[in-house]
Structure 1
Amino acid sequence: MRRNSLTGLAAVFVSAAGLAASMLMAGSAGAVSGEPVITLDAPAPVALPGAPAVAGVNFDFHTKAKNLTVHDVTLTVDARGLSKIAKVAFSSNCTAHGLVATCSESFESGSDPKTGLGSMTQLTLTALRGSRLGTTGTYKITGQSTHAQIVGGTGSVTVGGPSFGLNRLADHTNLKVGSNLTEPVQFTNAGNRPARGVQTVLAASPGLDFADHYSNCKYGSNGPVHFAKCYPKGAINIAETAALSAPVRLHVNSTALFTYLDVLTAPLGQPGWPDDQGITWTWGKKSAPALKLKVIKAGRHSSAPAGSVSLPQTGTVTDYGIASLKARNTADFAVSGASAQAGAGTTATLGFRLTANGPATLYDRSGGEGVPTAWVTLPPGTTAVGHSANCSPWQEDNPTAEAKGPYVCSLPSYLVPKGQITNFAVTLRVDDVVAHAAGSVQLVWGPDPADSHRPDFDPRSGNDSAALTLN
């Protein structure tokens, strides 16, 4: 099973440098009251690597307006504040005059504007030779449109920075429900500036609880995922290897099956995940012990000032890791059928369901490949004339499949806790009355019933199919 990050549930996991956000915002000129507002997401502060390496800067926007289409946006990027530290290259949608560029953009928002708005505008930054480590510059983005108010912002760029390379985390299998496990966290500063401190984010997926709570960690949850953000004291010199003084201890609870520990370690002060997830944090008790750092291999002292923004992660250096943890547990899934009476030329709606009996939570981070579906065969003598939103014909844009099936009915999420009941429905027109016309609902693992293999964690086969009967 591929181990994806918590996309759609808690966050999108990428390098801490790419997740940071400054809070300097600036409004655009010439806005008209009542126009829809398109706002730049606060630009992430950038730590600039030494030449010839480059740093790329992308810009995202958001709006509250639904189904918005604006094609006449002009963004102005004023990068003159970077003139002493970086060479600036603008994307192809921009026309540059020195370090000021005008960039053409168009934005479209769907029915759910929370998905955000990407942009074509990008910056590519290369440090000027001789730029002093720790020197900072800024740039500013403004915008205008005749159909919307564009709210821009200001971003910062600093020469050099720390860069934490996290050691590979250990995977675990065959874990006993009720047991505890330990996961050491160790990292090395592979950057060109020291860090004045460390912050480590731990995310325990469904089925796991933190067995220890520390006074210098804050704790919170986003749905079924538990977070801890810890601040162990201690500066990290260049090339220094350090570790959390105690391994992360996790309790395997009764809902564990396929679960994960996600770890992100970054320089102290690095903004970013999961700060933007709306989590309510609670600090560990003051009476609890503090989580500390221990030096595994001493680094070298530097005259460069300490940094709080990570360099872009390159090569094998990554500040983020996932430990895959598999427990000995079961998760039983079952389908139900339905029956109805209908005469020739009339319609009947058959409602059926897929139930998660547990006890484990199924948490599939492969993108949906490990979650069951209901494969529906229609009773003979019928034509499908409607279906619930979570069902669709097995083949799109095929009138025969739309009319005669089979239909595939899907769960709403790749997170399926014990007790979840998902209701489905198909509406059938009776073309020919057939006594006891029987279709079926079949529990399927994978995209095709011919390749379906019931997993070991669901040992009961007797509730994997049910009848759909008319007359």
Structure 2
Amino acid sequence: MVSSSGPIAANTSRDLVVRFDATGLDGIAGFALNPNWGAGWGSSCTTTGQVSTCTFNVRPWPGETTFTQNFNPTLTAIVGAPQGQAGHLKISQGWAGSPVGPATDVAVYAGGPKLELDPNLDSQPYDTQPGAVIGQPLQVTNNGTVASGRLVVAAQLSPGLSFTQHFANCSYGTYTGTTEPFKSAEAAICTVNTSVQPGQTVTVDPIQALVGSDALYSDISYTLSSDDDYALRFVRGSYAFTPASQTGPRLTAGLPEDDNAQSGPPTLGQARDYAVVQYRVDNHADFSAHGAWAPTDGGTKGTVSVKVHNGGPASVEYLRSGNPIGGVLVTLPAGVTVSGKLPADCGKVNPGLVHCYLPTFLLNGADRTFDLPLAVADPAAAPAVTIGVTTEQGLYENAVQPLPYDDVDANNTTSLALGTTATQS
């Protein structure tokens, strides 16, 4: 798939001219336009020799000021094409009536390496504990038609893990984003100057990590490549890497390295070149429920600040699933009602019950607070709200349920009197 995107005025349409020059594919692959092009949306194509020029009418979504257009030409390998040798397709574009911009050179290979991880690598979680060193040897097989040239392995550690050894041929990176749980995340990209031949299986040394005291749901994700640029662009784009030191012990694949090894062709599609190895850390967190009442108007109105505290030692993170790690149920007694807008993660189940979703993570020592505006019919009676921390399923069932990672249930609920004076629990 070829994709084009860029700015465009809202609620307009323009003609985009895209040119495909297949001259450099001779002997490697045949090029054909999509047969549906040239009909509808103002599209049309002409071909002269091995250069095809197509005009596409593009427009943004309503209210947007950018466009995206995908093209799906067909490439077919030539019988007898030399394996591992690149042909070149040049693609350029520009607005109709304007010069076509500089061409993008797309390398096209007949065949290639297909580096794949052992299918049993991530078949089940591994048990571990804080302070342990983890990491599995990686069995890598080239199920392609061309040697890999060299072997590139990337490892990304989930928060709470850290590398125990820095190999000479690995560059190490720290997360550059702003998402809180990932701020301590680490990654490595290791280049092994060993070419994996078609049908050959090699074993890469373990890339080991230390399990931190706050680790709970930990994992290491691995990516294989014979070309460390395109295949690992997402890893490179998320971390700031320090170049490999080239001194000290090296990560190996059990075979001699060749100092003259070069990057090979890209890995063939549909390869099992990525896997996430999960670990069950023998750890726990202590979640507790708290509340604070700040009355106004003589106690007839006020705000209840509902707080969930993670007393650790584990940081709880549902980073793979993206699900809330739990929630809070706030039961309102008779005469107490919601009097204003609730926070974005909260809602009324019924007049006497409010639920709030916790985020996908709560780090060791951190709090999550929800401010609920309430009205109290009889503040002199000091009616009490009940606050309970529960699972995501418990929010659906309107029930306080034990948290799977919490080893202390006694402090998962609390009550708070809503009188004329401030109170807290």
Matched, 1:79 2:20: yes
Matched, 1:59 2:9: no
The offset of 1:104, in angstroms, is: 3.2
Distance 1:59 1:438, change over 3 A: farther
Name the counterpart of 2:259: none
Count of equivalent residues:
385
The offset of 1:127, in angstroms, is: 1.4
Matched, 1:454 2:411: no
Matched, 1:470 2:418: yes
Name the counterpart of 2:188: 228
- Which of 296, 308, 324 is the equivalent residue of 1:354? 308
Matched, 1:281 2:229: no
The answer to whether the 8 A contact 2:5-2:69 is kept is no
- Which of 228, 251, 270 is the equivalent residue of 2:210? 251
- Which of 390, 407, 420 is the equivalent residue of 1:444? 390
Distance 1:238 1:384, change over 3 A: same
SS at match of 2:60: strand
What is the root-mean-square deviation in Å for CA atoms of aligned residues? 3.5
Residue type of the partner of 1:86? G
Distance 1:427 1:394, change over 3 A: closer
Name the counterpart of 2:361: 415
Distance 1:151 1:192, change over 3 A: same
Distance 1:60 1:426, change over 3 A: farther
- CA–CA distance in structure 2, aligned partners of residues 391 and 469 of structure 1: 24
The answer to whether the 8 A contact 1:348-1:429 is kept is yes
% identity of equivalent residues: 21
The answer to whether the 8 A contact 1:381-1:433 is kept is no
The offset of 1:417, in angstroms, is: 1.6
Deviates more, 1:317-326 or 1:458-467: 458-467
- Which of 260, 270, 276 is the equivalent residue of 1:322? 276
Give unpaired runs (5+ residues) of structure 2: 176-182, 257-261, 420-425
The answer to whether the 8 A contact 2:388-2:400 is kept is no
Give unpaired runs (5+ residues) of structure 1: 1-56, 297-304, 396-400
- Which of 249, 265, 271 is the equivalent residue of 1:308? 265
- CA–CA distance in structure 2, aligned partners of residues 73 and 434 of structure 1: 69
- CA–CA distance in structure 2, aligned partners of residues 306 and 253 of structure 1: 35
- CA–CA distance in structure 2, aligned partners of residues 105 and 462 of structure 1: 61
Task: Kindly provide the CA deviation profile for residues 174-193 of structure 1, in whole angstroms up to 9, marking residues without a partner as x.
Answer: 31221223301121112222
Which structure exhibits the higher relative contact order, with contacts defined as CA atoms closer than 8 Å and separated by 6 or more residues? 1
Matched, 1:119 2:119: no
Task: Kindly provide the CA deviation profile for residues 243-267 of structure 1, in whole angstroms up to 9, marking residues without a partner as x.
Answer: 21x2222222211111101000100
- CA–CA distance in structure 2, aligned partners of residues 110 and 352 of structure 1: 38
- CA–CA distance in structure 1, aligned partners of residues 254 and 63 of structure 2: 49
> TM-score by structure 1 length?
0.71
Residue type of the partner of 2:128? L
SS at match of 1:331: coil
Task: Kindly provide the CA deviation profile for residues 190-211 of structure 1, in whole angstroms up to 9, marking residues without a partner as x.
Answer: 2222221111100111222222
The answer to whether the 8 A contact 1:337-1:440 is kept is no
Residue type of the partner of 1:311? L
Name the counterpart of 1:435: 381
The answer to whether the 8 A contact 1:173-1:326 is kept is yes
- CA–CA distance in structure 2, aligned partners of residues 109 and 243 of structure 1: 53
Task: Kindly provide the CA deviation profile for residues 16-68 of structure 1, in whole angstroms up to 9, marking residues without a partner as x.
Answer: xxxxxxxxxxxxxxxxxxxxxxxxxxxxxxxxxxxxxxxxx1526477x9xx8
The offset of 1:433, in angstroms, is: 5.4
Distance 1:124 1:166, change over 3 A: farther
The answer to whether the 8 A contact 2:394-2:401 is kept is no
Residue type of the partner of 1:158? V
SS at match of 2:72: strand
- Which of 332, 348, 352 is the equivalent residue of 1:378? 332
Task: Kindly provide the CA deviation profile for residues 72-94 of structure 1, in whole angstroms up to 9, marking residues without a partner as x.
Answer: 24433222336642333447665
The answer to whether the 8 A contact 2:215-2:314 is kept is yes
Task: Kindly provide the CA deviation profile for residues 304-338 of structure 1, in whole angstroms up to 9, marking residues without a partner as x.
Answer: x973322211xxx4100111101111111122112
Matched, 1:158 2:104: no
Question: Higher Cα Rg: structure 1 or 2?
Answer: 2
Task: Kindly provide the CA deviation profile for residues 347-396 of structure 1, in whole angstroms up to 9, marking residues without a partner as x.
Answer: 3222221222111121213534360112223343243243454433156x
The offset of 1:139, in angstroms, is: 3.3
